[in-house]
Structure 1
Amino acid sequence: MGSRLSKTGIALALCGLAALAASPALGHGVHSHAKGAPKPVLVLEGEFVASELNGRRLNRGEDTPKATLIFLPNDGVRGSTGCNRFSGKLVRSGAKSTRFGPLALTKMACIGPAKNLEVQMLSALRATNQISKFGSEVRLLAANGRVVARLQTISARPETGLSLYGKSWTLVSLNGQTLDAQSARPHVTFEPNRISGSTGCNQFSGVHQRADGKSRFLNMAQTERACLAAIGDPMATEAAFMAALSQVDQFSLTGNQLTLKSSGSPDVLVFEAGN
C-alpha cells in the first residue's frame, strides 16, 4: 500500500513540474503580466538624407539635389524633396503603423533631376505605413513591408533641427571683430538643405550641405547692389563675410549662439538668434 502511494505521489509531482515548464507565464522567464503588453513607440529625432527611393540608389554627389527628412519633437516632420520644402506630422496607429499626415509643400517649379527626385520622394512618403530605424539608417516601409526609402543620418542631434530652423541668426562677430549693433549686420536663416539671408547689403541664398559632421555652403548666389551706410563699411563687411562663409566646414550650436568656422583658415563667424 505504502509503495503504491509513493509511486502515485511521484507521478503527481512529475505532472506538476511538466505543467509548470509548459506554463507561458513561467516558461523561459516570461511573466504573465508582460503578455500582450504594447511595444514601445519608436522615438524619431534628427536629420536624414535619402540614399535610396523605391529600390533605386541615389547619386549623392556634391552638386546633385538631395531629399531630406527631419524628425522634430512631438512627431513633427520637415524636409526637402530636392526641390520644394515640406512640413507636417506623423500619424501613429499603435506601435506598428506610422504614416505621414497631410504635408504642406512649397510650390517652386522643378525641372530635370530635381523634378524626378521630388516625384520619387513624395511617392515614398505617401506609401509609408511603418518606420523603422537600424543604427544610423531610417527605413520607410509600405503596408506590405516593402522598403520604399532608406535614409542616412546627417545629424542625430535635435538642435540641428528644431533649434537651428525657424530663426534669424544675426552676425555679431566676424573673424574676431565684434560688429557694431547699430550697423547693418549680416543675418542668415536655415531651412532643410538651404541657407538664405542678407550680407548687410545684398540678399543671398544657396545650398547648405551637411555630411559626416561637416557643413558646406554651395551654389551661393547674391544680388549686386552697391551700399553705403552712416556706420561701418557694408561693402567691406559683405566681402569678408561671404569669403569666410565660402570656407566654412565646421558647425557649432550652443544655446542661442551659432558658430561657423573653417578648419583650413582662421575665419570664424559667430551668430546670435534674433528677429
Structure 2
Amino acid sequence: MSIMDLPPFNRAQLHAIEVLRGGGAVVVTSPSPMTYGVVARDPRAVNLLKGRPVDHPVAISVHFRTAHDQLFQYLELATDARAMVDHALADRMLVSAPIRPDPAMPEWLVPAIEDGWVLFFDGAWAPLWTLWGSFPFLYWDGTDNPPVATASEARALFPAGTVVIDADDRRTPASTYGPRTVIRVDTDGRPTVQRTGIQDQEAGPALLDRLREFKSAVAVLDGPGRTPLGKTYVSTAVFEDDEPKELVPRTRIQVEFARDPNKNEGGPNVLDVVSADVGCNHLGTAVAAGELLTGGRLSIPGLGGTQVGCQGPLRDQEEWFKTFLTSTPSWRLDGDELTLTSGGTTITLLDRKLAEPDLPLDGIRWKVMTTITNADMRQGFRFSGQAWLSFDNGRVSGWTGCNELSGTYTRNNTELSFSNVTITDTPCPPDTEAFRTTIRTTLGPATTYTITHNKLILLSPSGTGLDLTAE
C-alpha cells in the first residue's frame, strides 16, 4: 500500500511528521474545549511561527514514559506532589514546577526552563497518535490569543503553507474554547493557578481542592518511606521453601514500577503500572494510583501482555511467575534491594542501575543488531550482524559489513553530532545499499543516543536509526 492509498487524515499526519523531522513546526488540534497549538522538535521553529524571538521559553510535552520519567528525576518535588502533577497532566493542564540545577540534565529540557521553573504537559491525544507517537517529546505553544478553536481559524491565523492538522470532526463541539490552565506547584507541593484557563473556568475553586484531595489521598495510600515506583529491578536470588530455585538458563526476572497520567478516556486519572519479564512475554497491568503497593502488598488483579508462544521450560517458568505476581505478594525495600514474598517463595531483586549498570559509550565495540525506521520500527539485514561501531574520545570508526567507516563527533548528555564521516568505496552487493544508507543517515548532526545497560540506540531526526549491543 502506498501513502496515497491511505485516508486523507492519515496522510496529513505523515506529512506533518516529515515536516517535524525536517525541523519545521505544525499546528495541531487539541481535544475540546482546548484551542489549537503549535508543536515542533526544534523550539526555535515554534517561536518563529509564533513571531517571537527564537530563544523565547516554550512548553514541552512529555508524552512518552522515557521523557516523562527523565523530567521527573529533576523536579524539586516530594513524591506525593509528583502524583498530583500527574493528575494535572491527565486533566490536560500545563504544569509549572521547580527544577533542580544539575549538570547531567538532558539538554532537551533547557528550552522549557525559565528562572528555575519548567513548563510541561502531556499533549498526546488518541486521534493524533500517529503524530504524537513518533516523538518522545515535542515543544509546544498554544494559540490562546486569539483562541483558535477550528482548523479554518488556524489557517487564517498562520502564514500560507503552514501545516494544520484538522481533527475538528474528531472533537466533541464545545460552547466555549480556551487555553489550558497553568498550575504552579511549589517545592512544598502547594498548587496555585498561575494562569486561568479552560479547566479552572469550568471547575472554579474546586479545581485546586480536587488536586489537594488527590495529593492527600495518594500520600495516605503510598504510606511513609520509599516505594519502588520509578525503578526497574532484576532478580539476584529466588528461593522456594528455603531452597534455591534455578531459573531457565540465560533468563532472569525483571520488574518495573511506574506512575503515569492516564491517556485513555475514563478510568482513574493517574495509574500505577507494573511491567514484568521472565524471559519470554512482556507482562503488565495498571491500577489506580496508590492501589498497587498499598499496605506492603503488591496488588495485581490480573496480567496482560504480549502473546509470544513460549516453549517448554520458558512457558512453565512464566506461568509460575504469573501465579506468584497475582498472589498479592508482600514487598520490602532495603536500600536498593527489593524483596517479594508469597507463601514459601521469596524473590530478591536489585535496582537495575546497580545490577546492570549502563556501559560507557566510549571504548566499546557496538554490534549493529537491527536498523530503525519511523523512530520505532526494527528491521534486520543480512549484513547487520557483521556491522559495528566504536567510539573513542571524539572519533568514530566502524564496519558496515562491506566497508570501513570513520569520522568525528561531539557529544552532550543526549545527542551526538557527527561530522567528516567517510565510508570506503569497496564494491558491495546491491542488496546491502539500503543498510549502508541507513548507517550514513544515522551518523549525522543531532543524533540522539540512549544507553540501557549493554544496549545502544542511535536515532536521527528523520526517525532512522540503529539498535546496537555491546560485544
Query: TM-score band (shorter)?
Result: 0.3 to 0.5
Question: Would you tell me which structure has more strand in proportion to its own residues?
Answer: 1
TM-score, normalised to structure 2, is: 0.28
Question: Would you tell me which structure has more helix in proportion to its own residues?
Answer: 2
Rg larger in 1 or in 2? Answer: 1
TM-score, normalised to structure 1, is: 0.44
